[in-house]
Amino acid sequence: MAVAIKTQMLPMIKKVRNIPKEEYYVPGHRTCAGCGPALQYRLVAKAAGPNTIFLGPTGCMYVANASYLCTPYAVPWMHTQITNGGAVASGIEAAYKVLIRKGKWQGEFPNIIVMAGDGGSIDIGLQAMSAMMYRGHDALFICYDNESYANTGIQTSPTTPYGGNTTFTPPGEMIPEGKKLYPKDPPQLVIGGHPAVKYVATASIAYPIDLMNKVRKALNVVGPTFLHIHAPCPKGWKTDQDKTVMLAKLAIETGMFSLYEWEEGVYKFQHKPKQYKPVREYVKLQGRFAHLTDQHIANLQAFVDTKVKAQGVPIQVAVATPADYDAMDVGEGTGLNQ
């Protein structure tokens, strides 16, 4: 028997004064001052409202938020393994459907939101996330992207930009740029391989109304949806804590991050600059890029130029292979310095 599972339609927010005053991500956490992921959590929770269940794969938004008997979540929240946010969301969604079918749950179907880091979504959490998307569960998967495995000491992740200095990609004599690889493209990974997905979008803490409306749009869709939210991390990026929102905006102004929606095959772009600023302006403010030479910055600029010309299209860039590392004599076949 088919189950009618959606009973709510969250309205779009037109102006700042229409933003709900209620908070569902409240004070009492231990994230760093100026933490971008904490700010995006607050905005997502505001947009989603009280009828929400958050699932938190291991990462800063679990570990730094939750200590014994104290969390900032004013709605139901559950920790999941870093690998299995998508699987737990699938199980909760399926359980609600069963309860509704059996007449044991008369309330509204909840917003089920996985709040996963870049590691917990498109790297170590990829399998479960992809399976949730593929099977068509009615849940929203958010990748909050601070561009590293931050919680365990700022290790490189697949979204760390080219040239990023992390604890696993320290610049040195052999590999002066730090990280050699160009990043994975989270929304394109989801769009490209999951026929059940109808809505995918990118968002940024620099544009809170756009972010909250994308959360609401995603939650109004029946079926799996995905948001990629850019969220600077002062600790990992080695930036001043009061520059978080400014940096998020500069990422869009330079083309390092782009805002778009993909709805059943149709792209719409938001806050697309008429003229992009040079990536150097973004890079020079961040300690993680302090070692980059002019050539490295030119490489990054060339990558961004290609990307912004073909937004919404996975791009081809030359990436280093294990053979290249062998040629550099950093250890045969090590695959080091990813």
Ligand X SMILES: Cc1ncc(C[n+]2csc(CCOP(=O)(O)OP(=O)(O)O)c2C)c(N)n1
Nearer Cβ to ligand X (37/208): 37
Q: How far apart are CA 192 and CA 212, in angstroms?
A: 25
Nearer Cβ to ligand X (119/255): 119
Interaction of residue 146 with Mg ion, rule CB under 5 A: yes
Nearer Cβ to ligand X (90/156): 156
Q: How far apart are CA 86 and CA 72, in angstroms?
A: 22
Nearer Cβ to ligand X (79/97): 79
- Quote the DSSP letter at residue 329: T
Nearest CA to 116 out of 80, 160, 158, 157 is that of: 80
Tell me the Ramachandran region of residue 260: left when phi exceeds 0, alpha when psi lies from -120 to 50, beta otherwise.
Answer: beta
Nearer Cβ to Mg ion (109/162): 162
Give the footprint of ligand X on residues 33-62 (CB under 6 A). 37, 58-61
Give the footprint of ligand SF4 on residues 89-148 (CB under 6 A). 146
Per-residue binding string, Mg ion, 103-142, x by CB under 5 A, is --------------xx------------------------
Closest residue by beta carbon to ligand X: 117
Q: How far apart are CA 307 and CA 312, in angstroms?
A: 9
Interaction of residue 64 with ligand SF4, rule CB under 6 A: yes
Interaction of residue 72 with ligand X, rule CB under 6 A: no
Radius of gyration from C-alpha coordinates of the chain: 20
Nearer Cβ to Mg ion (150/190): 150
Q: How far apart are CA 158 and CA 189, in angstroms?
A: 12
126-135 helix and 85-101 helix, angle to the nearest 10 degrees: 30
Interaction of residue 82 with ligand SF4, rule CB under 6 A: no
Q: Which residues contact 8 (CB under 8 A, 6 or more apart)?
A: 51, 108, 109, 219, 220
- What tokens appear for 160 in the block? 């760390």
Binding site for Mg ion (CB under 5 A): 117-118, 146, 150
Binding site for ligand X (CB under 6 A): 37, 58-61, 82-83, 117-120, 146, 148-152, 157
Binding site for ligand SF4 (CB under 6 A): 31-32, 35, 37-38, 60, 64, 146, 150, 233-236
